[in-house]
Structure 1
Amino acid sequence: MEKTEFLEQNIFQNLNNLNDGFDSDSIQYFSEADFETVLERIEQFGIGIYEMKPRLDEDFLDVKVNEDYRKKATDPKWYKRAFSDFKKQQANLKYSASYKVSERLLNRKSAADIANESAAQAEEEITNEE
Structure 2
Amino acid sequence: MEKTEFFEKNIFLNLKNLNDGFDSDSIPYFSESDFEIVLERIEKFGIGIYEIKPRLEGDFLDVKVNEDYRKKATDPKWYKRAFSDFKKQQPNLIYSGRYKVSDRLLNRNSTVSDEEVS
Query: TM tier, shorter chain?
Result: over 0.9
Shift, 1:6, TM fit: 0.3
1:111 Cα offset (Å): 0.8
Q: Percent identity?
A: 80
Which structure has the highest helix share of the two? 1
* 1:115 to partner: Cα distance: 1.3
Unaligned runs of 5+ in 2: none
Aligned to 2:4: 4
C-alpha distance after superposition, 1:46-100 (max 9, x if no partner): 0000000000112111100000000000000000000000000000001000011
Q: SS in structure 2 opposite 1:67?
A: helix
1:31, 1:95 → 2: CA distance?
6
Q: Pick the structure with greater CA Rg.
A: 1
Task: Report the counterpart of residue 98 of structure 2 in structure 1.
Answer: 98
TM-score (norm: length of structure 2): 0.98
Q: Which has the higher contact order (CA 8 A, sep 6+)?
A: 2
The list of structure 1 runs, each at least 4 consecutive aligned residues, that deviate by more than 4 angstroms after superposition, is: none
1:18-57 superposed matches below 5 A? 18-57=18-57
1:128 counterpart residue number: none
RMSD: 0.6
Q: Which runs of 5+ in 1 are unaligned?
A: 119-130
Query: CA–CA distance in 1 between the matches of 2:58 and 2:110?
Result: 37
